[in-house]
A and B are shown apart, each in its own frame.
Chain A
Amino acid sequence: MASQFDETRFIEALTRHQPALEAFCYANVARREDAREVLQATCVKLWQKAAEWNPETAFLPWAFAVARFVALSHLRDKMRDRLVLDEDVVLAMADDAEAAAVAFSARREALEHCLRRVKREQRELLHAHYIEGRSVRELAQSAGRGESAVKMTLLRVRQLLSECIEAQLRTAS
């Protein structure tokens, strides 16, 4: 088990890097509920292996390696039709998922700025879909609009946020 000092460093690192870790889990499984399960299992596994982490080395690469193992195990346990990405694709995407997760905090910061430029209605739509987990069908019904229209609206907002993030990052650099 890690020493008291190491445990403090470990908790600090895990807390600080949890958003990136969550992004990494999400980039591996592409579905919110699966990502939550993988993140939870990863955190448990990281706690169990805390003594193996050397606080003088970077936390994220080590955590990603554990998370990848957990994600693959999760994929194997799930019914195939419940999954978005196949196991070989997840393996092929490993480096890209890691790079995206490493860049997460910068992109998140840029996104925060971009979200301020989004109209209230668009934010409400994002909130309803991504936070409340309401499906496009539900959103279309409650708004009295066609499913395609809601789907297109979400797609459009996503694309604009992507563009805005890239522009923000270019400006920052």
Chain B
Amino acid sequence: MKDEMISLETRMLTLLHRAREERDAAARAELNALLRSNAGARRLMARLLADEQAIVNCLREEGIVALLDPAAAAGGPVAPIKLAARPFAWRRALAAAAAGLVVGLFSASLVYGLVMQRGLVNEGIPVPLADGGFESGVEPAAEFVPARTGLWSGDFATLSEGGPEMVPSEGKRMLKFLRTDNRLSPAGVMPSAGELWQVVDLTEARAALGHELAVIEVSARFNQAAVSGGEKTAFGVGLMAFSGSAADAPAVWRERRELALAQADKEELADAEPGTWQRLSAQMTVPREANLLLVQIRAVRKGRGPHSPVLGAHFTDDVRLRALDRPSAETAKWR
């Protein structure tokens, strides 16, 4: 119930912002429809607005104190706007505590994400992911992090039915990483990783599950065709939870150190066995305030010096998401 309220609060604050600041008529209509039909939403909205007024009231009072007594107000808030590079230690601490994972408080390297080794223990329940097997025939977009749910987007990649050098792990198709850049990449930048992302709506996943989402796991299979030259490559999977709208995903990814509510990641060097697929997985505790998830799969050049943006011998297939009741303690480690 409490989680539903937090999700509702996120939704209403987002709609309120869009209706007020962006003059978004659709958001305004949605907000009013929600308030008409939902008594809990009306109660919450009244509280949110009164709290907003309280914020104004407190800050205004502090401003007056600062004017009347600058010494007393030293350390107070009245100053020109200047966003800090890392304004979220406090938020992280509360979010971590809210998730019941206080260990995160003492970790310098963000979050309460979990990284799984091979060999999962509990079975879990599948969480819908669009075209995880790359069988739909829809090519991924090459436009950085997608701003909507239900598609793969990222760096240049293509669907492949395979050939003598590689066959799909399952089904008829797999995904072939082509380059480490995309249509929106700034000129002159040579990233070392070819990445693809998908935004997943956790609200839908929670509804489909019929209960709260505690831990989520992403897994994918990777393979590398025989390559000459010997440059090392790694494969990776990642998860990032955030709240907001899918349209925020590109911005959240760019500023993930501050804006991610939780992250988990797993990377492993590509082996030299094209005949077998490597399976990687990462688990993450889902903060209750998160309503969206960003799934990432990648192939990374690990050699030193300038990288060619061209990949082409790197494949992934069978990307899956599943909900688990709890992390498998035997195989998980704190990140």
Contact surface of A with B, Cβ cutoff 8 Å:
19, 22-24, 26-27, 30-32, 35, 81, 84-86, 88-89, 92-93, 96-97, 99-101, 103-104, 107-108, 111-112, 115, 117-128, 130-131, 134-137, 139, 142-143, 145-165
A100 touches B36 (CB 8 A): no
Residue in B20, B51, B59, B252 whose CB lies within 8 Å of A162: B51
Contact of B252 among A26, A101, A149 (CB under 8 A): A149
Separation of A83 and B248 alpha carbons in the complex (Å): 25
Question: 17 additional contacts, CB 8 Å, given A111-B51, A126-B55, A159-B10?
Answer: A23-B57, A99-B43, A107-B47, A107-B51, A108-B54, A115-B77, A118-B90, A119-B84, A121-B83, A127-B79, A139-B83, A145-B83, A152-B244, A153-B83, A157-B91, A158-B48, A164-B94
Q: Are B79 and A124 in contact (CB under 8 A)?
A: yes
18 A-B pairs in the complex with CB atoms less than 8 angstroms apart? A22-B53, A26-B50, A89-B42, A97-B50, A107-B51, A112-B58, A119-B87, A123-B59, A124-B79, A130-B55, A135-B21, A148-B248, A149-B254, A152-B259, A158-B48, A158-B51, A159-B243, A160-B95
Chain B residues in the interface with A (C-beta under 8 A): 6, 9-10, 13-14, 16-17, 19-21, 23, 25, 28, 31-32, 35-36, 42-43, 45-60, 63, 75, 77-84, 87-91, 94-95, 98, 242-244, 247-248, 250-252, 254-255, 258-259, 289
Interchain nearest-CB distance for A94 vs B (Å): 9
Q: Which residues of B contact A158 (CB under 8 A)?
A: 13, 48, 51-52
Residues of A within 8 A of B53 (CB): 19, 22-23, 26-27, 35, 104
How far does the alpha carbon of A128 sit from the alpha carbon of B46 in the complex, in Å?
A: 23
| Docked-complex contact B81 and A142, CB < 8 angstroms | yes
Q: Which of A22, A81, A159 contacts B289 (CB 8 A)?
A: A159
